[in-house]
Amino acid sequence: MLNWIARDRVATLLLVTIAVLLAVGVAAPGFLAPSTASMIWSNGLVLMLIALGVFPVILTRNIDVSGGSVLGLSAITLGLSLNAGIAMPIAIAMTLGAGLAAGAVNGVLVAVLGVPSIVATLGTLGLFRGVMLIATGGEWIEELPETLKALGAKSLSGLSVMGICTGLVIIAVWAFLRSRRGRWVMVVGDNRAAARHLGLPVKRIEFLAFVWGGGMAALAGITFASQIGFVPNQAGTGIELRAIAALVLGGISLLGGVGSVAGVVIGVIFFTSIDTALVFLKIPAYWNDLIGGAMLLTVLLIDGRLRIALEARDRAARYHRGDAQAPQSQKLEDAA
Amino acid sequence: MKPALAELISVSKNYAHIPVLKGVDFSVYAGEVHALLGGNGAGKSTLMKILAGLVTPTGGQVRIGGKALSPATPSQAQAMGLYLVPQEAHIFPNQSVLENVCVGLPQAASAYRSRVKDLISRLGVTLGLDTKAATLEIADRQIVEILRGLIRDAKVLILDEPTSALTPLEVETLFTRMRALRESGHGLVFISHKLHELRAVSDRITVLRDGHVVHNEAMEGSTDAEILAAMSPGVTALSDRVAGKVTSEEKVLSLSHLSGEGFVDISLDVHRGEVLGLTGVVGAGRTELAETLIGLRPRAGGDVMLEGRPFRAAKPSDAVKQGVVHLSEDRQQYGLFLEAPLYWNTSSFVYDQLPFFLRPAREQKRFETYRKSLGIKCTSPDQPVGSLSGGNQQKVLLSKCLAAEPKLLILDEPTRGVDVGARNDIYRIIEDLAATGTSVIVISSDFDEVVRLSDRIAVMAGGHLAGELPAGASTDAIGQLAFESKETSHA
């Protein structure tokens, strides 16, 4: 049991999340209810989509910190086009197009022009936010149509349309990573030179990862606008860093090549449930960042310690076995 | 004449206007093993990378199976039936062995499981398909690379120094496999620095020097002397051991019943001015012993005396301060600062002795002294060390060790991937050092090298000290010790 927990970051985090939820349930009766679960899910949707977008980028050993700005840019694309009277399906298509285009800009900078991903996306983080502000003239976009708000409203047994979409995206990413091409994304981050040597289209994989990130940020923008019904100037600011923190918490290595969809989901849910729990415990919202940060460090430290202890044990076991190399000497005897 | 499976026609390559290859013709025919030999920096690796589509040539043609390689990418070359097994295995550390072998193939890895298993058993090695690749030893990583080539049904297989990390037994099974591939009509290119290995399997030999082909003959028609002369004019053989060397009886280092990770109960003495050869097969515990001595690994038991006083290093800098300097077998990872100038590397063991404000001129002067005495070939002391050839990199490492003025120098595989000329230089440097009273432990898997260098030979096997042999012992005697004691420990 202990072994299993130590080997799997996702399992550790799952147990911690359950423990935190139970503890809050004891302190604030009424917390442990299906409605809370539905609330945590819908509160975490935007973060979840951004995290799912950055996930493949990090798997290829790159990083994308422009997610928040792409979210804002797509949200105003949606708001402006809807308020201009464009039909909903076309407006949504345009929004997704804006996100994909923004992702493609990141992808060209990194994969084609060879700009380090942190530099490139820090640049576009400012750039896209600037485009957004110029397009709106610094105004907020309000009075979005009810048809849009309906996408974010809970309808089917506590789930919204966007909530269901996000669920489908999670399943799609899970299935993709189990496919042959999904494996390509992981191996590019694991050893880029080796992937190139084996003839994988490394640059195309990196480019597509960024495009995917842009598309997901656009989906997050739609969710954001549908949930709150207006688009403020600072929509999505700072969410990219929260998404990256959630990924790290879920065991996705910033060095690339390691991570699972389960890790992404549980990492995001952990963050969101802490925020939600604080509301139930009537702790002022400005404590959220401090408590979230402290929880992140605690889990990472404990997990890191466990891992070091385990590695030391594996190493000791390996050298212990080294004393009696029965199978190997057998082979030598046969050869002699 | 059989058809050429792969052909390079007057290929040339310039790196920043410096020509590396000057109009090289090279071909591999079906059913032959073509040996490719050349000093470090002669252009062998570049030539093979061009053939494999990893490097675009400045001029000339690349043809595989009679058709031009276009576009010149590795995937195209692989699709046309050519695979390059690189010198340093390219591994995905977080993927399983099976995934490592099958990445890039048209189907998912699980579809190839039985075929890979079959190939592994035909190669005569043991390798778990679901092992995480990060845990593999260097030799097993090489096997993974060879499996990649075989599973792709490559008609042309280029093996770039495949034997440098293998044990003699594994080398023999690899050769058997290579002969079988030749019989079935494959064409192989075999790169190695060891002439006797090339001779064992090759049909034809091409020697490259300074970007030109200087020798291209049937293997049988070429004598060792001819080949060596073509490769580096003036060197006709490895220099012989100086006879009649007298060593001091004064003990510099003495180990008693030392145990640690991967070795137990090692008792050894090293005398002043002596070259002790420490040998055995890969995995015998030699590297672990050296790393334990200098404090990289924990010591489990036993005592070490240095010049009559107890010696214990908690970290490598302790060892350096007491005059014990170690050079790792993995020079790229643990030895060099590849992007840093040459003279920084030379100073890197003695940084604690440098003044607060650095004096680059003085450091460059120190480097200059070593450049002359060790014969390092470079254009300027500001050059990054990564731009030098393997042999010269090794000399830079030696200069860094010498700068620390060691009493005892531990060299782990000092000539791995180093050509004959530079190898001679390194042997001379080691001998000069011993003559001035420095004791040297040379760890090497190359039994010939151990015999050539050592005043005394210690053989390890399976973590135990299998025995000690005097200077000039035969390689057979070493081999017996290195393999036999494993059998007895088994019995």
A67-119: pLDDT as tens digits: 999 999 999 999 999 999 999 999 999 999 999 999 999 999 999 999 999 99
**Do residues B347 and B354 make contact, with C-beta atoms less than 8 angstroms apart?**
yes
Q: Would the CB atoms of B463 and A322 count as touching at under 8 Å?
A: yes
The answer to the question of residue A70 being in a domain is yes
- How close does chain B come to A62, measured CA to CA in Å? 17
Q: How far apart are CA B178 and CA B198, in angstroms?
A: 12
| Residue B120 tokens, joined | 């592994």
- How close does chain A come to B345, measured CA to CA in Å? 26
Strand runs labelled E in B236-393:
251-260, 263-271, 275-279, 299-306, 309-310, 324-327
Q: Say which of B92, B487, B490 has its CB closest to residue A194.
A: B92
**Helix A45-59 with A34-43: angle, nearest 10 deg:** 50
pLDDT tens-digit series, residues B11-61: 888 876 777 888 889 999 988 999 998 776 678 888 888 998 888 888 888
Asked whether the predicted pLDDT for residue A331 surpasses 50, the reply is no
Query: Which residue has 């949504």 as its token pair?
Result: A92
Per-residue pLDDT band at A318 (split at 50, 70, 90): low
pLDDT tens-digit series, residues B351-366: 888 888 888 888 899 9
The answer to the question of residue A170 being in a domain is yes
Q: Say which of B76, B103, B169 has its CB closest to residue A183.
A: B103
Per-residue pLDDT band at B177 (split at 50, 70, 90): confident
Q: Which pLDDT value is given to residue B246?
A: 67
In DSSP notation, B203-232 reads: SEEEEEETTEEEEEEESTT--HHHHHHHHS
Q: Please tell me which residue, A326 or A177, carries the higher pLDDT value.
A: A177
**Helix B390-403 with B360-374: angle, nearest 10 deg:** 120
Q: Say which of A199, A200, A319 has its CB closest to residue B261.
A: A319
- How close does chain B come to A175, measured CA to CA in Å? 13
Domain boundaries, position A100: 33-307
Domain map of chain B by residue range? 4-231, 251-490
Q: Would the CB atoms of A198 and B78 count as touching at under 8 Å?
A: yes
Q: Say which of B90, B483, B490 has its CB closest to residue A193.
A: B90
DSSP state for residue B192 in the 8-state scheme: -
Q: How far apart are CA A16 and CA A6, in angstroms?
A: 13
β-pairing, B251-260 vs B464-470, is unpaired
Interchain contact B476–A (C-beta under 8 A): no
pTM comes to: 0.77
Contact list in B for residue A58 (CB cut-off 8 A) is none
CB pairs under 8 A between A and B: 100
Considering only alpha carbons, which residue of chain B is nearest residue A177? B108
Q: Which pLDDT value is given to residue B237?
A: 58
Q: How far apart are CA A49 and CA B21, in angstroms?
A: 52
The answer to the question of residue A13 being in a domain is no
| Residue B146 tokens, joined | 């060879």
Asked whether the predicted pLDDT for residue A176 surpasses 90, the reply is yes
**Do residues B457 and B279 make contact, with C-beta atoms less than 8 angstroms apart?**
yes
Contact list in A for residue B486 (CB cut-off 8 A) is 325, 328-329, 332
Q: Which pLDDT value is given to residue B488?
A: 42
β-pairing, B32-38 vs B82-85, is unpaired
Interchain contact A199–B (C-beta under 8 A): yes
Interchain contact B81–A (C-beta under 8 A): no
B406 prior amide bond cis, ω within 30: no
- Residue B201's Cβ-count burial label (10 Å; 0-12, 13-18, 19+) is buried
Interchain contact B93–A (C-beta under 8 A): yes
Q: Say which of A197, A322, A323 has its CB closest to residue B54.
A: A197
Torsion angle of alpha carbons B451, B455, B456, B459, nearest 10°?
Answer: -30
Asked whether the predicted pLDDT for residue B437 surpasses 80, the reply is yes
Interchain contact A332–B (C-beta under 8 A): yes
Best mutation target among B486, B487, B489 (most A Cβ atoms within 10 Å) is B486
Interchain contact B298–A (C-beta under 8 A): no
| Most trustworthy range by pLDDT among A12-16, A212-216, B98-102, B407-411 | A212-216
| Residue B23 tokens, joined | 């109009």
Q: How far apart are CA B458 and CA B479, in angstroms?
A: 12
Q: Would the CB atoms of B103 and A184 count as touching at under 8 Å?
A: yes
Considering only alpha carbons, which residue of chain A is nearest residue B74? A199
Other CB atoms within a 10 A radius of the CB of residue A129 amount to: 21
Q: Please tell me which residue, B228 or B429, carries the higher pLDDT value.
A: B429
pLDDT > 90 fraction of chain B, expressed in percent and rounded: 14
Contacts of A3 (CB under 8 A, 6+ apart): A310
Strand runs labelled E in B18-70:
18-29, 32-38, 59-64, 67-68
Q: Would the CB atoms of A328 and B463 count as touching at under 8 Å?
A: no
Per-residue pLDDT band at B242 (split at 50, 70, 90): low
Best mutation target among B85, B95, B480 (most A Cβ atoms within 10 Å) is B95
Domain count, chain A: 1
- Mean pLDDT over each residue of chain A, to the nearest integer: 87
Same fold, B4-231 and B251-490: yes
Report the SS3 class of residue B285. coil
Look at residues B42, B41, B50 and name the one whose alpha carbon lies nearest to residue B11: B50
CATH code of residue A136: 1.10.3470
Asked whether the predicted pLDDT for residue A332 surpasses 80, the reply is no
Per-residue pLDDT band at B119 (split at 50, 70, 90): confident
- Considering the segment(s) B4-231 as one domain, its CATH architecture is 3-Layer(aba) Sandwich (3.40)
Q: Would the CB atoms of A332 and B107 count as touching at under 8 Å?
A: no
Q: Is B265 left (phi over 0), alpha (psi -120 to 50) or beta?
A: left
**Residues 218-257 of chain A whose Cβ lies under 8 A from any Cβ of chain B:** 257
Look at residues A45, A58, A49 and name the one whose alpha carbon lies nearest to residue A209: A58
Contacts of B318 (CB under 8 A, 6+ apart): B295, B312
Considering only alpha carbons, which residue of chain B is nearest residue A183? B103
Q: How far apart are CA B68 and CA A159, in angstroms?
A: 58
Report the residue count for chain B: 491
Report the residue count for chain A: 336
pLDDT > 70 fraction of chain B, expressed in percent and rounded: 93
Q: Please tell me which residue, B151 or A8, carries the higher pLDDT value.
A: B151
- Mean pLDDT over each residue of chain B, to the nearest integer: 84
- How close does chain A come to B148, measured CA to CA in Å? 9
Q: Say which of B76, B103, B285 has its CB closest to residue A187.
A: B103
Interchain contact A312–B (C-beta under 8 A): no
Q: What is the ipTM of this complex?
A: 0.76
Q: Would the CB atoms of B486 and A326 count as touching at under 8 Å?
A: no
DSSP state for residue B353 in the 8-state scheme: G
Interchain contact A198–B (C-beta under 8 A): yes
Class of B251-490 per CATH?
alpha beta
